[in-house]
Chain A
């Protein structure tokens, strides 16, 4: 069995060397992962260390203030919720309808190619550009109330819609053609097939994508900075046209404060924001695992 050429000193040493290189390479890969995860752990640890002490009921129910001891996040949280509501109400129906059209009905022509290219590009356009769009169109041209959840939600909806369209198309594509054929064969029209059979089956996937898009919108700061949502707002907004702040903006504003008491507030607000995001992603993963069908 054994080849005498492999038993020489030279050959053994070469194999040793190659095996050592193999181990080094593997360790390098492991090191890269450990380093990335260590950074994540450090970030979370520092935020928890600085912020946990500040998390109490007064903080969760209070509103912004110039004094770190009485400042709270409820005003910003409510602003975030209102903004997200506007974003969801606009981007979800729009995104789902556009995905259905592009996947099921669109003819192959140049216009549709243009739509596809612009959706793919919009998903990669820096968020700050959407802020510039919101400022130029919603505030300067249409004269909508500055710093309101309405304008913030509209801007974020434009940003979120491509994400929903892309994930929606993938979910619709994953529904096997046999389902469509079966519905068409018993006499359903094309529209009935899509709305009664394809859409319900694709819905878990679409919802997962929507939640992930919404989570991204919830953490977004830059476009909202452009449309002036950095006001100092003491009373929580009562409606979508009242001036308000949002959670990430509150974090940004507090991080600028010189008073060291705000370090705790900022970190605590970050914990609140991360808890929201974690919950949303958790729901998305749960939906995916529970309803995903492998055909």
Chain B
């Protein structure tokens, strides 16, 4: 609590420093060319000297303070009654922390109440010490910055260097995120593969993590049915819907439609891509799935299920249409005009030109677009969670309920089991597989698109 206040105080101090330095620099200003930097830059320079060191001190203190507080509380006689078991003790400490912040909170462990008082005292004491240290750092930084205000001081150069550092830091966030994803997936999946052999995971055909106990654990984590379900729904059914519709829409809009029609229809078509997936999922479950079930029944299916691969795949395909359409649009637009003009001049009709000249020339771009669409479809979660079902089965029957990688990830992580069970960890192994597959698809597709653009440039 105190530390949050300190943070605000530091920012306030920075503001004061900004005005003070600017005012001082203005006094030094004696006419055109008398100073290297504008007074504003002197203000920024000083504000940076106040805020940056203080922020560093603040971060460092926030990191070490809990340890110091815990040390004091543990040394307190009231803590002698705490159980030695680390997990139990941490639970009590957490409760005591809530109590220290809010004395009216409920506590299950009576020990928490006894240590809440020393905990609060220690927190206040160390908070005040921290505030003092941070304050000293801020003032020292500010004083240093203030002494440097002279007409020939290159404040602007210094400030701009700091700005560049900030920009670099922001762009490194992307690498940090990628690294975070890879590291966390690898780490958790590694824990999973300690219990389950990777080969059994990747090649086994039996998936029932619920029964996974004891020695036959390998037999229950065979992910092949999940991979098959994912490919069947995302890469087959959805693409059977999305590729013809998306491609034909793109051809119609770019080759046949008048400018006015194109201007209105394209954004409306894009709405399909903007609708949240949870809405599609609900639509699939509420409207599409019953129709498909009834259709299956009329085909003579014995007791068709409400959840079907077809319902999920169909709706997913519709969701992907605008994506395929805009990728095909780009690919067709990249084909040089001279090629289709040449074909038309030889007397070919428009559709013949499109089929024989434009499409073959645009094929690499279209294929890359389809790959990106597949990578999007297999990572899609809500539609399959709401419409595809939980049964892991290897079947080519589109009316059957089928499960996917993303569905199982959700299933494994929303239950109530402890975090380190193989069942929970399997979600991260599945996530790792999903990440690698989509990454490879994306990299290949982006490369193909780039090559293809260069070929016609």
A binding-site residues for B, Cβ under 8 Å:
18-19, 21-22, 24-26, 28-33, 35-37, 39-40, 42-43, 46-47, 50, 93-95, 97-98, 100-102, 105-106, 114-115, 118-122, 124-130, 132-133, 135-137, 140, 158, 161-162, 165, 189-191, 195, 215-216, 218-222, 225-226, 228, 230, 248, 251-252, 255, 263, 266-267, 270, 273-274, 277, 281, 285
Contact = CB atoms under 8 A, between A and B. Distances in A.
Contacts of A43: 275, 279-280, 283
A257 B453 CA distance: 50
A101 B177 contact: no
A153 B209 CA distance: 31
A126 B406 contact: yes
Contacts of A281: 274
Contact of A33 (B269, B276, B372): B269
Contacts of B443: 121
B-side interface mostly: helix
Given A125-B438, A137-B184, A25 B244 contact: no
- Best-buried of B178, B246, B279 by chain A (most CB within 10 Å): B279
Contacts of B269: 33, 36-37
Nearest to B287: A46
A37 B167 CA distance: 43
Interface residues of B, number: 87
Closest 3 interchain pairs by CB? A126-B379, A219-B276, A29-B252
B276 A277 contact: yes
Given A94-B173, A219-B277, A136 B271 contact: no
B101 to A, nearest CB: 12
Contacts of A40: 268, 271-272
B279 A273 contact: yes
Contacts of B311: none
B324 to A, nearest CB: 11
Given A31-B248, A33-B249, A221-B276, A22 B349 contact: yes
Nearest to A270: B279
Contact of A26 (B275, B281, B351): B351
Interface of B: 156, 160, 163-164, 166-175, 177-178, 180-181, 184-185, 187-188, 244-249, 251-253, 255-256, 265, 267-269, 271-272, 274-283, 285-287, 318, 321-322, 349-352, 354-355, 372, 375-376, 378-382, 385-386, 406, 409-410, 413-414, 419, 427-428, 431, 434-435, 438-439, 442-443, 446
A132 B428 contact: yes
Given A102-B171, A115-B172, A274-B275, A222 B381 contact: yes
Contact of B419 (A95, A125, A140, A158): A140
Given A26-B256, A32-B245, A126 B276 contact: no
